Structure 1
Amino acid sequence: MLYRERTLSTQHGSVNTPILFPVRNIGTRSQDNTPEYIGEIPDLPTAMVNARAIRERESQWERLKQGADFRDELGAPDDAIIFADSGGFQFQEGPGAVDTTPAETLRTQEEIDADIYGTVDVPLSEECGPDERKRRIERSTDYALEASDQHSGDSLLFASVHGYDPEVIQNTLKYLDRQGDFDGFALGSLVPIGGQYERVTNIILAARKATDKHLHVYGLGGFLYLPLLLYLGVDSFDSSAFIRSASHRRYLVPGFRGEILRNISELEYLPCGCPVCRDRPLDDVRSDRNLLVQHNLWALTIELRRFRYAAASDRDIESYLRLRYQGNDVTLRAFKTAKQQVRGLA
């Protein structure tokens, strides 16, 4: 298998990889707002934030420019490790949609005091024709190289890379590695094709073959993908799945698919020993969205811990994944496809 454990060193501390970066939205309370978790879950000192969204939040942006500490704004400790992406997923509406520059995004990431900078990118979609897809890939590549030329300081720089063809992914990564100075790479545009597991698997494997540097995957750190990403040698991933699931009152359990809580009526306590569930009745968790969000994040953490445990105890990871995916034909088929290719690489 390609699973690997490393240490990612940043200006605010080091973290063992593979690691999840929970999407951390701040501002007014909404179904997308993230409750506090840093410090509550000891192996998640990490957060993913959107640089563009922060810059557009005028009152907060003014405070940051005047010297406010972003970690204080988050209610996070000084050693929280923050990955600030460019907000590129918002640039999908056409040629004029990109309303920032690499220089402006770098300044924003610096004001945030982020540990990891994601370069400005123009994501793909299934609706893009071949010419438009090629244009977006080239534009994202140019933005990454421009950021590399302008980047300085101790923060890590990850080039955001897009492509739906494994060969294009490999060629783009190798080109960026030759022409720029990057600490890692981040694969984007996979969420729109997330249901095509075999296709996504081939794209990630192409990236892993092209570089030994840190590899991040944007947006796919949910329950179904997480074990597969680990098996493929991905070093980090971000997710808002724990928030989105909770907004639909879906309760996540490692090894099972999420269940909508209104479908459960005869239990007094839920089947999880996390700090949220261990001594709270079902009705308390069902009625409090914040508790459900916190539990779902714990569930993702436990999924990651289980994989680490299986690897550390010299268990057969492939047998573990077959068991993990046995109830889902699509993901099981994707795993089998990945296994054939991984055995040729490992």
Structure 2
Amino acid sequence: MQGWPRLHNGPARPLLWHVQTGQDWTIGPIEVKALPDPPYATGTTRTKHGTIRTPALMPVVAVSYGVWDLWIDGEYTAPWDLAQATILSLYHVLQYPRAKQVRTRGIHAVLGTSRPVFMDSGGFQYMKKGVELDPMDVLAFQRDSGCDVGITFDFPITLDLDDASRTDRLDRSIKAANLMLEHTGDMALYGAIHGSSPDEIEAYTMRLDKGFSGYGIGSLVPRKAHYDHLVDIMHAARSLTSLPIHAFGITGFPALYALSYLGVDTFDSWTYLVAAAYKEYIDPERLMRVKRLKERSHLPHCDCPVCQEYGLKDFIAPTSEGEALLALHNLHVFLREMSLIREAMDKNELEDYILVKGEHGNRNINRAFRAAERKVKEKKDQYR
């Protein structure tokens, strides 16, 4: 299938890494630099609707029906009322009646929020449906919606693709990204990046034109529990730019801690809602899902605002209200942990904080962190 015509006559411009001295270093092929020591730090991402303190987790939201009606109509506190920013997938907008309102009134008016809103292109969901969108149509909708940050339409890669198909999808993602960048106007645009190895991440990045406001790293979900692989990919991405880096679809606590340690800026979470749909309660101390709630007489203690007013009986109710309340509890746990991560960073105590969390709950937290720690040390030794 033919790709879209590229609007640039010359070769793509290499991405520049803006170092602290103000000097720009062009990244050469297969060259990943060591991260600072320590590799993490709190930071800020500025948008038209406010500043996001990073690292930060953004709940994935929709404008469909069910729990979304309750939140949009203001019957309950909404996810976008709790988080610093939210993110939507275009897939969860276009197929529902509110799509026209989003385009004419703006996404902030539809949600009733004055906080930053990111809009993903929905490439991952459309890939699963076998549907393809025109990148320029995606960009037009994002701009009309008034979102703070749009993300380029992409063609994610999966483990079952042959080499030719992989190459084709990567090429088309790059063409779509550069095409959208040419016409983005004053809307901030993140370039979606894909690759299954550090070398692929670098090669992909080298073909993106300069001018993106940040980058979103995709195709992570199929191997999200393979922590060494995840760390390799995200370390490579983080090392190539000082612009904001977003990790798509990675919201398990082990990965959140490890990637925050590596300096990833933002994450998105659909897990808070999916867990609630399956009537699963996230234990705020062990950071693991409590299942089969109907068989339990009580829940682990939680002092979040939802649990102060509602309880087990409310959460297991087979209604949209029950799902909404349980989702809000789960989101409170995620957001609290991200706040504690930032606090530990400011004290330069993130490593100790992560190790303590791993000892008292999800043991995969320490596995993922050790993988990140090894990678940072390896690169530090290499460039010493």
Shorter-chain TM-score range: 0.7 to 0.9
SS in 1 for 2:139: helix
Residue ranges of structure 1 left out of the alignment (5+ in a row): none
SS in 2 for 1:27: coil
Identity %: 28
| Match in the other structure for 1:4 | 41
Distance 1:99 1:6 in 2: 35
Residue ranges of structure 2 left out of the alignment (5+ in a row): 1-37
- Structure 1's 88 and 251: CA in aligned 2 closer, same or farther, altered over 3 A? same
Aligned 8 A contact 1:246 1:289 in 2: yes
| Match in the other structure for 1:55 | 94
Which amino acid is the alignment partner of residue 244 of structure 2?
A: H
State the shift of 1:25 in Å: 1.1
Aligned 8 A contact 1:120 1:143 in 2: yes
State the shift of 1:11 in Å: 1.3
Match of 1:308 among 342, 355, 369: 342
State the shift of 1:133 in Å: 1.3
In the TM superposition, 1:286-297 aligns within 5 A as 286-287=316-317, 288-297=322-331
Q: Output the TM-score relative to the length of structure 1.
A: 0.88
Distance 1:313 1:284 in 2: 38
- Structure 1's 285 and 90: CA in aligned 2 closer, same or farther, altered over 3 A? closer
| Match in the other structure for 1:298 | 332
Which amino acid is the alignment partner of residue 197 of structure 2?
A: D
SS in 2 for 1:186: strand
- Structure 1's 28 and 309: CA in aligned 2 closer, same or farther, altered over 3 A? same
1:225 aligned onto 2:255:
yes
CA shift digits 1:183-239 (9 cap, x unpaired): 110001111111212211111111111111110011112333221221111100111
| Match in the other structure for 1:260 | 291
- Structure 1's 123 and 160: CA in aligned 2 closer, same or farther, altered over 3 A? same
| Match in the other structure for 2:63 | 26
| Match in the other structure for 2:222 | 192
Match of 1:92 among 121, 127, 130: 127
- Structure 1's 32 and 264: CA in aligned 2 closer, same or farther, altered over 3 A? farther
Aligned 8 A contact 2:246 2:264 in 1: yes
State the shift of 1:313 in Å: 3.0
Aligned residues: 333
Aligned 8 A contact 1:170 1:209 in 2: no
State the shift of 1:17 in Å: 1.4
Aligned 8 A contact 1:24 1:33 in 2: no
Aligned 8 A contact 1:19 1:236 in 2: yes
| Match in the other structure for 2:17 | none
| Match in the other structure for 1:124 | 157
In the TM superposition, 1:213-252 aligns within 5 A as 213-252=243-282
- Structure 1's 33 and 102: CA in aligned 2 closer, same or farther, altered over 3 A? farther
Distance 2:240 2:273 in 1: 33
Aligned 8 A contact 1:249 1:286 in 2: yes
Distance 1:52 1:265 in 2: 36
CA shift digits 1:42-71 (9 cap, x unpaired): xx13111122442333x4333344x32322
Aligned 8 A contact 1:25 1:49 in 2: yes
Q: Which moved more, 1:188-197 or 1:258-267?
A: 258-267
| Match in the other structure for 1:285 | 315
State the shift of 1:37 in Å: 2.5
Distance 1:211 1:88 in 2: 23
Work out which structure has the larger RCO, using CA pairs closer than 8 Å and 6 or more positions apart in sequence.
2
State the shift of 1:72 in Å: 2.6
State the shift of 1:332 in Å: 2.8
State the shift of 1:112 in Å: 1.2
Aligned 8 A contact 1:46 1:81 in 2: yes
RMSD of aligned alpha carbons: 2.5
